[in-house]
Structure 1
Amino acid sequence: MKLLIKNGRVIDPGCKQDEVMDLLVENGRIVKKETQIKECEKELNVIDAKGCFVMPGFIDLHVHLREPGLEHKETIATGARAAARGGFTTICAMPNTKPVIDNVDRLRFVLNKSEQVAAVHVCQVGAVTVSQMGEELADIEGMVKAGAVAISEDGKSVMNVRLYEEAMSLAQTLDIPVLAHCEDKNLVGAGVLNKGKKSEELRVDGISNLVEDIIVARDIMLAKETKVKLHLCHCSTKDSVLMVEEAKKKGILVTAEVCPHHFSLTEDDIVEGDTNYKMNPPLRTKEDVEALKLGLKNNIMDVIATDHAPHHKSEKALSMKDAPFGIVGLETAAALTITELVEKGYLTPMQMAEKLSFNPAKVIGLDKGTLEVGKTADITILNPDREWTVDTEEFASLGKNTPFAGKKLRGQIMATIVDGEVVYRHK
C-alpha cells in the first residue's frame, strides 16, 4: 500500500528545503514531494503531519545493543524498538559485546539476526583489535567485505600508537571511517566523575579533561598522517571542540559527535548516589557544555549521537564507584535536541536534521539522510511543540538507566518510517 504524509513541514538537508509539503511513498521509496498531492486516499495509508517536522530518518552512529552475550542489558530486537520509538531508522552497533565483534562470523551473526528481528536498519561496527585487547589487529578487511561500516575500539582507546596507525592506514585503504573513543587509560585511573568540585564533594576519583584531550590530539595527528576519515565519538570538553575546529581548517578528515547528555547536563546536576549520572566521558562543567553547544551551532561538531548504553537495574544499583558507566539515550535524544538546542536558539530545525541524519549518513557512506524523490523512504515525523514527561516504564529499551526520568521535554516522535513501512506510531 502507498503511504501519503500530508501537511508536514518537510525539512530536507539534502537539498536545503524547508516548506510545508506532502510526501508520497510507494514500494519503499519516495515517489512524489510536492504541495497538496492529489491521490485517491481510499487506496492510501494517510498520515496527517500538520504542525510536525518531517525529516529524513535519524541515524545514530553510536549504539550499544549488547547482543551477543549481554542480553540481560539489551537485545538487538529491544534496542531496535527503542530506536524506532526515538525516531531513528538506522543505528550503528558498537563491537564491545561478549564476544567482541572482531571477525566475519560474529559480524554476520549480528547482521543476520538484525534482518530477522530489528524494526530499523542495523549497521555493525567492527573492532580494531582482537578481543579489543590492543595487541593485534582484528580481521578488519574481512569484516568490511562482510558489511562493517566502520571500525572502533569503543569503550577504550587503542593505546599502541604503531598498531593504531596500521589500523588507520588499512581503514583509509578500505575507505571506511575510524570511530574513536578518546581516553588515555593511563590517566583515567579509578576515575568516576569529572575531576572537579563534584568529585571532591562526593569523595570519588575524578576524570580530568586531559584524559580526553590528549587522545583527541593524538588521533587527529594520526589522521593527518594516514589520511583516514576520523570520527571522534562523544566529545565532552571545550578543547576537543577547539582541536576539531583547527583540524578542519588544516584539511584533516575529521568529524565529531556530541551526545545529548553532554549538551544537556553539567557536573552540577549530579545527584549524590544516583548512578544514572555516571557515564564516560563524564558530565563536565558549564564552560565545557557551552563550548559543545556553540560547536554544534557553528557546525564544528557534525553529529548528535546517543552512546545508548543500557545496563541492568541491579548493576546501576551499585555504588557510584562500582556501578558501570553509561545511560540509555535512543528514546530521549530528539526531545533533548529540541528542548536544549532548537528551543534555545543553538540549532535551526535544518541543522537538527543535518546532525541527526544527513551528516551521520555521510560519515559512514550511506545513501540516506535526504527526502529527495527516488530515495529510500526512511522518515521521521516529529511534533516539536508537544510536551511529554520521561517515563522509563514506557521505554522499549530493556535499559531504564537515564538521568532524565521525570523530566518534562518538548518534541514528541509521532511516527518512524523504515523502507516505507510505519514501524512506530505514537498513540
Structure 2
Amino acid sequence: MRIRIAGARVLGGQAQDIEIADGRLAEPGSAGRPDLTVDADGLIALPGLVDMHVHLREPGREDAETVETGSRAAARGGFTAVLAMANTQPTADTAGVVEQVWRLGRESGWTQVQPIGAVTAGLEGTRLAELGAMARSAAGVRIFSDDGHCVSDPLLMRRALEYVKGFDGMIAQHAQEPRLTEGAQMNEGVVSAELGLPGWPAAAEEAIIARDVLLAQHVGARLHICHVSTAGSVEIIRWAKSRGARITAEVTPHHLILTDDLVRSYDPVYKVNPPLRTAEDAAALRQAVLDGTIDVIATDHAPHPAEHKCCEWTAAAMGMVGMETALAVVRLAMREEEGFGWDQVARLMSRNPARIAGLPGQGHGFEPGAHANIVLVDPGAPHTIDPADSASLGRNNPFAGTEVDTAVHSTFLYGHPVVLDGELQAPHPASKEDTWPL
C-alpha cells in the first residue's frame, strides 16, 4: 500500500510530505501514485508511541480488558507498541502464557503487543519464574516484572538481576516495601492524617529503589524503575545514574499532574498504586522529565470492571486507565514547563521506550527505509475527556471531564492506517499471516 501524508509538521517543524511504500518510509516523490492521501495540514507527525507499562488483563480477567480491546485503545492513543504486564490469571510466568499473549496481540493487529514476563512464579516472591524459557520463547521476552507486587526479597532480586544479565534482559521493579505499606490506602502525609486513612510513606518506594540500584550496579545488570512517584526517588535515580548504573525509570501521566488532595473526594477513581503524592512530588517529577533523569512516560493503563471502582474507598481496586488520553494529559501536565516540546514527547514516549524495550521496528525517526510507525497529532483540538468514548473496557479514567487541546488524528502501524481522523479503521491486513512484520 502506498500512502502520502501531505503537509505534516515532523516533530513540530516545517510542513512536509511523508511517503509510505510497503510499510516503510520512502524518499519524497519516489513512492508513485498513492492509494491513500491523508491531509495533514496543521498536524504534528511523531514516531509511533510506545507504552512500556500496560495491563491487558487477558488471560483470566477478560471482564476488565482483553488484548483486542486494549490494542484498540492503544491505537486510538497513538501507540504502535505496548508492553503487557504479567499479572494475568494465570500469571505470565511460563513460556506458554507469554506466547499466548504475544499471539493474541499478533492476531489482533491494532498495535504491536510485547509481553513482559513475571520475575517470580505466581508473583509470589518466593522463587524465580521460568525466565530463560520465556526469553527463548516465540515472544522473545526481555523484560521481567512482578508489577503489582514488589520483589522484596533482596537475595531473590539479586539472583533475578544476575540471571537476566546473561541475555541482556532487564528487571522492571515495582518499588514498594510491603511491610511499610500494609493496609495503606493513600499517600502518607497531611491529607491522610486529616482523612484518617492509613498512609503509604514515600520511604517505602525510595528504600526499595535505593537497594535495587545498588544491587544492579553490583552485578552490572539492567534495572528499570516502574511508575516513580516521589521527589526522593528522583534524587536516588539521579545519584545512581551519576555513578554509571544501568538504570532507567518511568513516570505516569497521572503522577505528573494529580495530587493526593483529590482523595478528599473519596472517589475511588483516584485510588492507584503507587498513590497520588503531593504537589511538590509532582513538580519534582516534571523536572526529572525535563532533565532526563526519568527516561520514559508510560501509562500504567489498569482497567477494572465498574463494580471494582463503584464502591467505598477502602474496598476499591487500585488503578487508572490512560492509553487513549495519555498524550493529551502529558501535554496538559507539561504545558508550563519551558523546553518541553514535540521532540521531548518523541524521546519520552517513543524513542526511549523502544530502545529500552528492544523493539527494533519502533521509535525510528523519519529517514527513508524506516518502518512506518507514525502518529499524527492535532495540537489544536479542544475537547472534554469522556470515559464513555473509549475503546477500552475500563472506564476508570481520573481525567473525566478535563478540558484538553491535543488529540490523536491518525495512527499508522507498519505502514497501515489503523486510525484515521480519530476513528478506528481496520487491523493490519497481515496480522493473521506469516508475513506479519512483528
Report the TM-score, using the length of structure 2 for normalisation: 0.93
Cα offset, 1:313, TM superposition: 0.5
- Indicate conservation of the 8 Å contact 1:18/1:350, yes or no: no
Question: Cα distance 1:203–1:253, how it changes in 2: closer, same or farther (>3 A)?
Answer: same
Q: CA deviation at 1:346?
A: 5.4
Q: Does residue 30 of the first structure (1) align with residue 25 of the second (2)?
A: yes
Contact 2:51 2:81 in 1 (8 A): yes
Describe how 1:278-289 pairs up with structure 2 within 5 A.
Answer: 278-289=271-282
Residue 401, structure 1, aligned to residue 392, structure 2: no
Match of 1:90 among 81, 94, 99: 81
Write the distance in 2 (CA, Å) between the matches of 1:163 and 1:372: 44
- Structure 2 distance, partners of 1:418, 1:342, is 28
Aligned to 1:277: 270
Spell out the pairing of 1:297-312 with structure 2 (5 A cutoff). 297-312=290-305
Q: Does 1:116 align with 2:107?
A: yes
What amino acid maps onto 1:388 in structure 2? Answer: H
- Please give the per-residue CA displacement for 1:302-342, whole angstroms capped at 9, x wherever unaligned: 10000000000011012111101000010111001112214
Q: Any idea what SS the aligned residue of 1:282 has? A: coil
Q: 1:149 Cα shift?
A: 2.9
Q: Equivalents in 1 of 2:297, 2:94: separation in Å?
A: 28
Aligned mates of 1:124, 1:262 — CA distance in 2: 24
Aligned partner of residue 50 in structure 2, secondary structure: strand
Q: Per-residue deviation at 1:40?
A: 5.7
State how far apart, in whole Å, the 1-side matches of 2:109 and 2:198 are. Answer: 39
Q: Does 1:139 find its partner at 2:138?
A: no
* SS across alignment from 2:129: coil
Cα deviation, residue 38, structure 1 = 7.4
Q: Aligned partners of 2:397 and 2:201: how far apart in 1?
A: 23
Note if contact 1:238-1:287 (Cα within 8 Å) is conserved in structure 2: yes
Identity of aligned residues (%): 37
* Residue among 368, 372, 375 paired with 1:373: 368
Cα deviations by residue, 1:159-210 (Å, 9 ceiling, x for unpaired):
1111111110111111112111100001001111111122223221111101
Structure 1 distance, partners of 2:8, 2:374, is: 12
Q: Which residue of 2 aligns with 1:7?
A: 7
The whole-number CA distance in structure 2 between the counterparts of 1:26 and 1:86 is 24
Q: Could you say what secondary structure the match of 1:7 adopts? A: strand
SS in 2 for 1:321: helix
Matched, 1:79 2:70: yes
Q: Which amino acid aligns with 2:44?
A: F
2:60 is matched with which residue? 69
Does residue 392 (structure 1) correspond to residue 401 (structure 2)? The answer is no
SS at match of 2:383: strand
TM-score, normalisation: structure 1? 0.95
Distance 2:5 2:109 in 1: 24
8 Å Cα contact 1:342-1:348 kept in structure 2? no
> 1:14 matched to which residue of 2?
none
Distance in structure 2 (CA, Å) of the matches to 1:20 and 1:292: 33
Is this contact kept in 2: 1:276–1:316, CA < 8 A? yes
SS at match of 2:104: helix
The Cα of 1:279 is off from its aligned counterpart by: 0.3
Match of 2:381, SS state, is: strand
Shift of 1:402: 1.2
The alignment of Structure 1 onto Structure 2 pairs a total of residues equal to 418
CA contact (8 A) 2:50 2:81 kept: yes
Name 1:318's counterpart in structure 2: 311
CA contact (8 A) 1:293 1:346 kept: no
Counterparts of 1:349-368 in structure 2, within 5 Å, are 349-367=342-360, 368=362
Structure 2: which 5+ runs fail to align?
424-438
In structure 1, C-alpha distance between the alignment counterparts of 2:160 and 2:68, rounded to whole Å: 31
Do the aligned partners of 2:93 and 2:129 also contact (CA within 8 Å) in 1? yes
Pick one of 159, 171, 186 that aligns with 1:178.
171
* Aligned CA distance change for structure 1 residues 40 and 299 (closer, same or farther; 3 Å): same
Q: Does 1:102 align with 2:93?
A: yes
The Cα shift of 1:100 comes to: 0.3
Structure 1: unaligned runs, 5 residues or longer? 12-16
In structure 1, the residue matched to 2:333 is 340
* 2:20–2:31 contact (8 Å) kept in structure 1: no
Equivalent AA in structure 1 for residue 105 of structure 2: S
Letter matched to residue 293 of structure 1: R
| 2:376–2:409 CA contact under 8 A, matched in 1 | yes
In the alignment, what sits opposite 2:196? 203
Separation in structure 2 between the aligned mates of residue 343 and residue 382 of structure 1, nearest angstrom: 20
**Contact residue 2 and residue 32 of structure 2 kept, 8 A:** no
Tell whether 2:147 aligns with 1:126: no
Q: Secondary structure at the match of 1:337?
A: helix
Q: Paired residue for 2:225? A: 232
The equivalent position to 1:190 in structure 2, one of 159, 183, 193, is 183
Alpha-carbon displacement from aligned partner over 1:31-90 (angstroms, at most 9, x marks no partner):
22x5xx47665x431112121110100000000000000000000000000000111010
Q: Matches of 2:30 and 2:332 in 1, distance apart?
A: 35
SS of 1:393's equivalent in the other structure is: coil
Could you tell me whether the CA contact under 8 Å between 2:177 and 2:204 is conserved in 1?
A: yes
Q: Which has the higher strand share?
A: 1
